[in-house]
Structure 1
C-alpha cells in the first residue's frame, strides 16, 4: 500500500512540474534586434476578416496556362465532340471540334480576353465565343453567362492539359 502511495505521489509531482510556467531568460537571445516601438497591439479577430483570396495571385499571372487542352464535351445528336483548344502566350487561340460519328470537323482561331479577376477567359473567334475558368492544368468550360455548368455531365466540360 505504501508503494502505491509513493508511486502516485511521484507521478503527481512530475505531472505538476511539467505543467508549471516556464521561465523566460532575462538575457536577450541572439537573433535579430526588435524595435519595441514597432510592436503592434493584438488584432481582434472578431472585428477583422481574413481576405477571401489573394488578389495578387490569379490564374493569369500565377499559372502556366498556355498550352493545349482536350476534352470530349456532350453533344445533343452524337456521342460527343472531341475538342482540342490551344492557348498561346500572346492571347491567341486555335480550337478544333470533331463531332464523333458524324465525320464533321470544324476549326476556329482568334484572340481571347481575361476577365477582371484574371481567372476566366472568353474566346473571340469567328464562331467561337466560349468562356473558360482557368485552373491548374485544366480549363472548365462555362455557360454563356460565365457560370459553371451544373448537372450529371458537368465533369465532361473539364479540359485537361496535354
Structure 2
C-alpha cells in the first residue's frame, strides 16, 4: 500500500515538473521576442488625412498642378492638370493606398502607371522616385505637396 502511494506521488511529481518545464519554455520564448514596433511613425503620430497640393516638374509643360486627397478609409483621389499645355483638362484618378511596413510611406494603388509613392511628413507629402527613394537635386523641393 505504501509502495502504491509512493509510486503515485512520484508519477505526479514527474508529470507536474514536465508541465512546469513546458510553461517555462513558453515564457522564455515570449521574453526573447525582440520585435520592436515603432509607434512614432507617420501613420500613427501624424494627422495625415487631408488635401495636399503642389506643382511638380514636367518635361514638356510648365508644370503639373497636383492635388492628392488621402482619406481615413485608405482611399485617395488624385487630380492633375498639365499647365501651359493643351486645354487645361483635369485628370482624376481614384483608388486605395497602402502604408509600408515602417508606417512612413504610402503607395497609391489603382493608377494606370506604376504606383506613386509618397513619404508622409508633417503637413506634406514628399514624392519618391520609381525605386522609392527621396528625389534629390535642384528640383527636389518641387516634389513636395503641402496640406
TM-based fold match above 0.5: yes
Match of 1:113 among 98, 120, 131: 98
RMSD: 1.5
Structure 2 residue matching 1:65: 3-state secondary structure: coil
Alignment length (residue pairs): 109
> Within the alignment, does 1:81 sit opposite 2:67 as a pair?
no
- The aligned residue for residue 90 of structure 1 is 73
> Within the alignment, does 1:152 sit opposite 2:138 as a pair?
yes
- The aligned residue for residue 18 of structure 2 is none
Instruction: Give structure 1 regions of 4+ aligned residues with deviation exceeding 4 angstroms.
Output: none
Match of 1:136 among 111, 116, 122: 122
- Can you list the C-alpha shifts for 1:44-83, whole angstroms capped at 9, x where unaligned? xxxxxxxxxx812110011000000001000000010000
**What displacement does 1:104 show?**
3.4
Structure 1 residue matching 2:44: 3-state secondary structure: helix
- Can you list the C-alpha shifts for 1:24-44, whole angstroms capped at 9, x where unaligned? xxxxxxxxxxxxxxxxxxxxx
TM-score (norm 2): 0.71
TM-score (norm 1): 0.64
**What displacement does 1:105 show?**
2.5
Structure 2 residue matching 1:56: 3-state secondary structure: coil
**What displacement does 1:93 show?**
0.0
- The aligned residue for residue 104 of structure 1 is 89
Distance 1:107 1:127 in 2: 11
Where in structure 1 are there 5+ consecutive unaligned residues? 1-53
Distance 1:126 1:58 in 2: 25
| Structure richer in helix, relative to its length | 2
Question: Highest CA radius of gyration, 1 or 2?
Answer: 1
- Can you list the C-alpha shifts for 1:98-131, whole angstroms capped at 9, x where unaligned? 0001223211000000000000000002325110
